Amino acid sequence: MKILVCISHVPDTTSKINFADNDTKFDTNGVQFVINPYDEFCLTRAMWFKEKQGATVTVVNVGNASTEPTLRKALAIGADDAIRVDVEATDGLAVAKELAAVVKEGAYDLVLAGRESIDYNGGMVPGMLASLTDYNFVNGCVGMEIDGTAVSLTREIDGGSEKLSTSLPLVVAGQKGLVEEKDLRIPNMRGIMMARKKPLAVVAGISAAAATSAASFEKPAAKGAVKLVAADQIDELISLLHNEAKVI
């Protein structure tokens, strides 16, 4: 079984976010980048299939050379090889088209991607990728077992979960639950050293046109002042909630 894991290169959640060029571009200065957490769940699940079923695992990213350290981390975790599509990732549809070309070229059986990236939170790439490749698709996946070409999955829905069955080839948009956080892999020294020797191919994109562009960015409004009310002043609290906050 050939598995392709899509890896997004995203800012660490602890990074301070700023914008440049009159708030039209994300300012990367001083920002630490990591593997998108949802993609990390997918990568860990792919490693399970590698170890238990002998699958081969390739990781792929659409981006410039600055994303290669993130791909190397994925290799250190245990992926067999990596592909970087040498195109700036600016639009979900364009990224999906670039990934679709990689999927078709490699004839992958299973494509795993996080349900969304934590930077733009578009949540659109996995579904569009499935459509472009004509693969089966399951979103919000929190459980998956494969027996030959038959796949049993569990996905999260409002108020519960849903059991599904389908077959390969398949695109899965995964999230927390696909594996538990305690099972996420941390690269060890041996993995880091081996990652340096694993192939990382840089391929030209197909020049997919972006369908959208960002006009501007804006930070959330600053938090307002906080009023503290003594624990025994229930009447004052009710008055503030009713007259000022207007929530009751």
Delimit the domains of the chain by residue range.
2-220
Give the pLDDT band (50/70/90) at residue 140. Answer: very high
pLDDT of residue 214: 87
Check whether 244 has a pLDDT greater than 90: no
**Spatial separation of the C-alpha atoms in residues 138 and 119, rounded to whole Å:** 22
- pLDDT over 90 at 47, yes or no: yes
Fold of 2-220: Rossmann fold (3.40.50)
Q: How far apart (Å, rounded) are the C-alpha atoms in residues 129 and 163?
A: 22
Q: What percent of the chain has pLDDT over 70?
A: 100
Q: Kindly tell me if the per-residue pLDDT of 85 is higher than 90.
A: yes
Strand 2-6 to 110-114 pairing: parallel
Q: What pLDDT does 223 receive? A: 83
Written as one string, the DSSP assignment of 119-145 is TT----HHHHHHHHHT-EEEEEEEEEE
CB atoms within 10 A of CB 104: 12
Residue with tokens 């995203």: 10
Mean pLDDT of the chain: 94
